[in-house]
Amino acid sequence: MEKLREELLILENKISKLEPNKSQRAELLNKLEQYADNFIGQLDDSLSFRGNETKDSSRLAIDGTTASIEEIISIFEEEVDTPGLNPASGGHLGYIPGGGIFATAMGDFIAAISNRYAGLYFGSPGAVRLENRLIDWMKMVFNYPDSALGNLTSGGSIANLIAITAARDHFGIEGEKVQKAVVYLSEQTHHCVHKALRIAGLNSVVIRNIPLDEAFNIRVDALEKMIISDKKAGLYPFLIVASAGTTNIGNIDPIEKIADIKDKYNLWLHIDAAYGGFFILVDELKSKFKGIERSDSLVIDPHKGLFLAYGLGAVLVKNQKAILKSHHYRASYLIDATKNDEEHSPADLSPELTKHFRGLRLWIPLKLYGVEIFANALKEKRGLCIYFLEGVKKLGFKVGPEPDLSVGIFQYIHESIDSNTFNKTLMDEIHEDGRVFLSSTLINGAIWIRVAVLSFRTHVSTVDRCLEMIKDCLQRTELKLALK
Q: How many amino acids of this chain bind ligand PLP (CB under 6 A)?
A: 14
Whose CA is closest to 216, among 392, 444, 454, 383? 444
Q: Which is nearer to ligand PLP, 103 or 192 (CB)?
A: 192
Q: Which residue is nearest to ligand PLP (CB)?
A: 156
Shorter beta-carbon distance to ligand PLP: residue 192 or 227 = 192
Burial class (CB in 10 A: 0-12, 13-18, 19+), 296: buried
Distance between CA atoms of 206 and 188, rounded to whole angstroms?
17
Counting contacts by CB under 6 A, is residue 313 touching ligand PLP?
yes
Nearest alpha carbon to residue 262 among 179, 326, 197, 167: 167
Interaction of residue 98 with ligand PLP, rule CB under 6 A? no
| Widest distance between CA atoms in the chain | 88
Instruction: Work out which of 247, 251, 411, 455 binds ligand PLP, going by CB under 6 A.
Output: 247
Interface residues for ligand PLP in 389-448 (CB under 6 A)? none
CB of 117 to ligand PLP, least distance (A): 24
- What residue type is assigned to position 459 of the chain? H
Site string for ligand PLP, 55-94 (x = CB under 6 A): ----------------------------------------
Nearer to ligand PLP, 164 or 192 (CB): 192
Q: Find the part of the chain contacting ligand PLP (CB under 6 A) among 270-278, 337-345, 363-371, 410-418.
A: 270-278
* Nearest to ligand PLP of 313, 391 (CB atom): 313
Residues 186, 189, 195: CA angle, nearest 5 degrees: 115
State in angstroms the smallest separation of the CB of 310 from ligand PLP.
7
Task: Provide, rounded to whole angstroms, the least separation between the CB of residue 359 and ligand PLP.
Answer: 16
Binding part of the chain for ligand PLP, among 20-28, 51-59, 271-279, 355-363 by CB under 6 A, reads 271-279
Residues 289-308 that bind ligand PLP (CB under 6 A): 301
Q: Would you tell me the crossing angle of helices 125-141 and 360-369 to the nearest 10 degrees?
A: 60
Distance of CA 189 to the CA centre of its chain: 14
Q: Which is nearer to ligand PLP, 243 or 458 (CB)?
A: 243
- 253 belongs to the binding site for ligand PLP (CB under 6 A): no
Q: Nearer Cβ to ligand PLP, position 82 or 441? A: 441
Handedness of CA 81, 83, 86, 91 (dihedral sign): positive
The answer to whether 361 contacts ligand PLP (rule: CB under 6 A) is no
Q: Are 334 and 125 in contact (CB under 8 A)?
A: no
Footprint of ligand PLP on 120-159 (CB under 6 A): 155-157
List, in order, residues 6 or more apart from 162 with CB less than 8 Å away. Answer: 151, 153, 315, 317, 323, 326, 327, 349, 350, 351
Q: How would you class 370 by CB atoms within 10 Å of its CB: exposed for 0-12, middle for 13-18, buried for 19 or more? A: exposed
**Interaction site with ligand PLP (CB under 6 A):** 96, 155-157, 160, 190, 192, 243, 247, 272, 274-275, 301, 313
